[in-house]
Each structure stands twice: as C-alpha cells, then as structure tokens.
Amino acid sequence: MAKAVQVVVNSDRDEEVIQQLAGILRANASEARQLRDFSDTVSKEQRPNGLRFQPKPGHLLVCRFGLGFEKPENVKTRPVMVISPRQRVWTKLVVVAPISSKPPREEMPYHYKLPTGLLPGKKYEESWIKGDMVVSVGAHRLDRIKTGFRQYVAPIAPEEVLRDVRRCALHACGMHTLTDHW
C-alpha cells in the first residue's frame, strides 16, 4: 500500500539522502530490512554517541552495530566487553566481544556466562559472551551504558573474567592451544 509522506529537510544534501533512502525502501532490497532494523534501534534503544576516551581492557560498553553489518553478524545495539589492550597511540579501533541476554542453544568453548550483576540493569541478569562474534569496531560505535536520565556508567570486569573472555575469543579463532599457557 503506497503512502505519501511529507519530510522537511535542512539542506539539499539531506533531500538527496532522503530520496535515496526512499528508493531503497520502495525496492524492498536487503538494505531496506537493514534500514528498518536500524530505525527500530534508533527509536527504542540507547544511541551511542561515540567514545571520547580510549577504553581499558574489560570495559563494559554499548555498541551500535547497525548499518554496515548484515545477519548473521550483529545488527543491533548490544552491550560488549573490550578485550583489546590499551595502545600507546590510539587508532580509535577497539576489539570487543558482544554480550547476549540469551544463552546459546548449545554451549561451546567460545561461550562464557558472565557473573551475575556484572552488567547494570535488569535486562541482562543472565548474560553470555559470544566469543565467536568478536569484532574490531570504531570508537564512534561505542558508548557508556545508560542507567537512567543522563546517567551513564562504564564498569570494568575483574581481571579473571577478562582472561576467561579472551580465552573464548582464542577458542573461536582455533587458537585454543594458546590458552594452556594462561
């Protein structure tokens, strides 16, 4: 069912972008699904503004995977744990392990159940690291976790939890023999 929508734009470039987006939605291409998912995320969840600091290993943050990723990759906003070390010269790239509130169908060596209460809020009372989905993302996709009106936190996981999460990443990459040395 076709529907006309009036949109007010601030510049000519905005109008071009809106026209391109409308064309994608009309064609109902695979990008249309991605745009709809992104729109749902923007309207319902926390929108990361980007980090202005270099996170430490073990930092628990929120990542907006959204546009640029396609299923079976992560395509929504979700909490993550930073597993990359701090760099002397920061490239604004961070290696993160995604966190899910749902347990895996079959627990594998690259899954890890985080200790209860590590993540703030009630949604993630049970939380699982998905070591097979470790990815390097730009700092513009990351932000602290929103806990209330203008309240944000960036808790840091204990060292032993970080070590176990890094083990999961090694298992997922087929480098599990390196975990014998830890």
Same domain as 92, residue 64: yes
The total number of structural domains that make up the chain: 2
Same domain as 68, residue 39: no
Among 28, 120, 39, 119, residue whose Cα is nearest residue 76? 39
The C-alpha atoms of residue 95 and residue 67 are separated, in whole angstroms, by 18
For residue 16, name the pLDDT band (cuts at 50, 70, 90).
Answer: confident
Same domain as 67, residue 38: no
Same domain as 65, residue 32: no
> What confidence tens digit (pLDDT) does each residue in 51-87 have?
888 999 999 999 988 777 777 877 788 999 999 999 8
> What confidence tens digit (pLDDT) does each residue in 109-129 have?
999 999 998 988 777 788 999
User: Domain range for residue 138?
Assistant: 60-181
Same domain as 77, residue 38: no
Within a domain: 7: no
Same domain as 163, residue 106: yes
Q: What is the CATH classification number for the domain harbouring 143?
A: 2.30.30.110
Predicted confidence (pLDDT) at residue 178 exceeds the cutoff of 80: no
Within a domain: 106: yes
Its pTM stands at: 0.73
**Preceding amide of 104 cis, omega within 30:** no
Within a domain: 51: no
Same domain as 68, residue 28: no
The C-alpha atoms of residue 55 and residue 61 are separated, in whole angstroms, by 9
Within a domain: 143: yes
Strand partners, 93: 138
> What confidence tens digit (pLDDT) does each residue in 17-50 have?
778 777 878 787 777 777 777 676 655 555 556 8
Predicted confidence (pLDDT) at residue 171 exceeds the cutoff of 80: yes
